[in-house]
């Protein structure tokens, strides 16, 4: 119980988010209407992606200073799940955009920069596959991972704010706070961010454990 | 101490280049023929390019030329010789000298490129000093990013396409800023109009440079 309490918390919170996000009263706003409920499923994907990629970069830094294989396994697992979250964020965003901005892809700066971010991380995955030596893969992968994360910071946080965007909070559009004054949304949104991120961490830990089991099986059969 | 190393290594790079004339001639021909292909493809004797196309086309050509020019910087030398350097100099000296060498190469390529490009495509730039400042900033950014990426790609086996897929998404934010500033220069807008972009570009360059400087020693060890 001591070790997996947070998984129970994640499941309960996700249940709450799904029920609450779909059932609770939401503010009536022009254009958005009921689609505002997508807030609980789209925005947490980006929060989750950034947190997961940050954890991945953190493990890459640790790998470079310690050179222990399990640190690299963690870095790649978190990066993988981060990319999955990124794609989910992109797709949920596209669906939301179809109903509010009437286009799947409207060339919004945030859409473009998130697509570039995904390209960077897909390149990271390709780079890792081009090595056969495990140690070299881990080291070069870690270096590109840190480099990519550093390049991601201006991409996600600086550039979209410099241009006009359809997203709330950019270029004269009302910020997030402007339309959840009744704080009903917030009651679901913050748990949603935490719950989806915990879900991502859980998925990553499963992959790490799977990798460890695989390695032990290989070692066992290599000896006998 | 480190600057002395950088100076010696830079001199070595330039001397090697001068003796072999390998990178510069090949890449110059690449640049000129690309420009000529674009000129003939757009059929410019009858049409004139509109300024947006002129601008974007120039930077796309520069991007591809830069990727090809810098890709050689770590492949050219044999593994054994790199091991030899490893015993002699610090990794920081290596990365700084390579970045400066590639910066010089980029500046030569950009000015030659602009020269030929202007001959065949015309030159609608109104504010030339701003345009040249932009070329300088772009060259710094391109050479820093691409030197680091080429050192990463040189560790992998199939590095032809790897170089492009690793560097393009990282270069994109830089390229967008550069294209915007150069459009401002073409329209002859006041310097204050492009101040934000110039500062952002410098910040990105600084960030990429600092990260390369810190990470390269780890890469060099493999």
pLDDT tens digits, one per residue of A111-124: 888 888 899 999 99
- Average confidence score pLDDT of chain B: 86
Q: Could you tell me if A102 lies within 8 Å of chain B, comparing CB atoms?
A: no
d(CA B52, CA B183): 7
CA-based torsion, B14, B16, B20, B22: positive or negative: negative
d(CA B140, CA B146): 10
Residue A85: predicted pLDDT? 92
Q: What is the mean pLDDT of residues B44-64?
A: 84
pLDDT at A1 over 70: no
CB contact under 8 A, B208 and A151: yes
Residue A16: predicted pLDDT? 84
Residue A163: predicted pLDDT? 64
d(CA A121, CA A134): 19
Q: Could you tell me if B66 lies within 8 Å of chain A, comparing CB atoms?
A: no
Residue B158: predicted pLDDT? 61
Listed by number, the residues of chain B in 127-186 with a beta carbon closer than 8 Å to a beta carbon of chain A are: 148-149, 152, 155-158, 162, 165-166, 168-170, 172-173, 176
CB-nearest partner of B162 from A127, A135, A162: A127
What is the percent of chain B with per-residue pLDDT over 70, rounded to a whole number?
A: 94
Neighbours of A132 (CB within 10 A): 9
B77 versus A69: which is more confidently predicted? A69
CB-nearest partner of A150 from B158, B196, B211: B211
Q: What is the mean pLDDT of residues B178-182?
A: 90
CA angle centred on A59, ends B140 and B172, rounded to 5°: 30
**Residues A47 and A54 sit within 8 Å (Cβ to Cβ):** no
Q: What is the mean pLDDT of residues B99-124?
A: 90
Question: How near does any CA of chain B get to the CA of A172, in Å?
Answer: 18
CB-nearest partner of B215 from A123, A146, A155: A146
pLDDT band at A27 (very low <50, low <70, confident <90, very high): low
Residue A28: predicted pLDDT? 65
d(CA A206, CA A215): 14
Which residues of chain A are within 8 Å of residue B211 when distances are taken between CB atoms?
146-147, 150
- Average confidence score pLDDT of chain A: 81
B193 versus A178: which is more confidently predicted? B193
pLDDT band at B102 (very low <50, low <70, confident <90, very high): very high
Which residues of chain A are within 8 Å of residue B162 when distances are taken between CB atoms?
126-127, 130
CB contact under 8 A, A140 and B156: yes
pLDDT band at A26 (very low <50, low <70, confident <90, very high): low
Q: Could you tell me if B3 lies within 8 Å of chain A, comparing CB atoms?
A: no
**What Cα–Cα distance (Å) separates residue B150 from each residue in A1, A177, B25, B49, B175?**
49, 44, 20, 34, 18
Residue A82: predicted pLDDT? 92
B148 versus A38: which is more confidently predicted? B148
This prediction has a pTM of: 0.84
Residue B73: predicted pLDDT? 76
d(CA B204, CA B209): 8
Residue A84: predicted pLDDT? 93
DSSP classification of residue A177: G
Q: What is the mean pLDDT of residues B165-178?
A: 89
pLDDT at B174 over 50: yes
Residue B92: predicted pLDDT? 87
pLDDT at A29 over 70: no
CB-nearest partner of A144 from B152, B158, B197: B152
CB contact under 8 A, B152 and A130: no
Q: Is B42 exposed, middle or buried (0-12, 13-18, 19+ CB in 10 A)?
A: middle
CB contact under 8 A, A127 and B156: yes
The two tokens of residue A181 are 């004054």
pLDDT tens digits, one per residue of A151-208: 888 777 776 666 666 666 554 444 455 554 456 677 777 888 888 888 889 999 999 9
Q: What is the mean pLDDT of residues A81-107?
A: 84
pLDDT tens digits, one per residue of B30-46: 999 999 998 888 876 66
pLDDT band at B197 (very low <50, low <70, confident <90, very high): confident
CB-nearest partner of A147 from B155, B203, B211: B211
């Amino acid at each position: 119980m001591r070790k997996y309490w947070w998984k129970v918390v994640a499941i309960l919170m996700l249940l709450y988010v799904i029920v609450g996000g779909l059932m609770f009263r939401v503010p009536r706003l022009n254009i958005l209407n009921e689609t505002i409920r997508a807030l609980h499923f789209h925005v947490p994907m980006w929060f989750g992606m950034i947190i997961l990629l940050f954890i991945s970069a953190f493990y890459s830094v640790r790998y470079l200073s310690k050179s222990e294989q399990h640190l690299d396994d963690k870095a790649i697992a978190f990066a993988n799940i981060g990319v999955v979250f990124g794609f989910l964020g992109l797709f949920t965003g596209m669906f939301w955009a179809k109903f509010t901005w009437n286009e799947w892809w409207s060339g919004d700066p945030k859409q473009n920069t998130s697509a570039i971010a995904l390209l960077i991380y897909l390149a990271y995955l390709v780079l890792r596959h081009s090595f056969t030596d495990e140690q070299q893969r881990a080291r070069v992968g870690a270096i590109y991972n840190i480099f990519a994360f550093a390049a991601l910071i201006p991409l996600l946080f600086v550039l979209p704010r410099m241009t006009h965007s359809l997203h709330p909070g950019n270029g004269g559009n009302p910020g997030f706070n402007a339309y959840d004054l009744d704080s009903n949304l917030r009651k679901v949104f913050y748990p949603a961010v935490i719950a989806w991120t915990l879900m991502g961490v859980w998925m990553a830990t499963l992959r790490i454990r799977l990798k460890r089991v695989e390695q032990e099986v290989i070692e066992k059969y290599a000896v006998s | 101490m480190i600057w002395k190393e950088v100076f010696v290594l830079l001199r070595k790079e330039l001397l090697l280049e001068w003796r072999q004339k390998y990178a510069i001639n090949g890449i110059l021909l690449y640049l000129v023929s690309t420009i000529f292909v674009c000129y003939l493809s757009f059929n410019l004797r009858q049409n004139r390019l509109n300024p947006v196309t002129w601008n974007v086309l120039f930077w796309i050509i520069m991007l591809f030329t830069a990727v090809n020019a810098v890709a050689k910087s770590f492949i050219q030398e044999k593994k054994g010789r790199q091991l030899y350097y490893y015993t002699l100099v610090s990794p920081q000296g290596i990365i700084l000298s390579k970045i400066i060498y590639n910066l010089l190469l980029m500046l030569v390529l950009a000015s030659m490129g602009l020269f030929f490009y202007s001959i065949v495509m015309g030159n609608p730039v109104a504010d030339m000093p701003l345009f040249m400042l932009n070329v300088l900033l772009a060259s710094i950014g391109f050479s820093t990013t691409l030197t680091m990426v080429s050192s990463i790609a040189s560790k992998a086996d199939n590095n032809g396409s790897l170089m492009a897929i690793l560097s393009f998404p990282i270069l994109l934010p830089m390229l967008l800023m550069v294209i915007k500033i150069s459009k401002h220069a073409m329209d002859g807008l006041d310097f204050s109009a492009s101040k934000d972009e110039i500062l952002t570009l410098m910040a990105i360059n600084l960030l990429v440079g600092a990260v390369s400087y810190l990470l390269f020693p780890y890469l060099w060890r493999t």
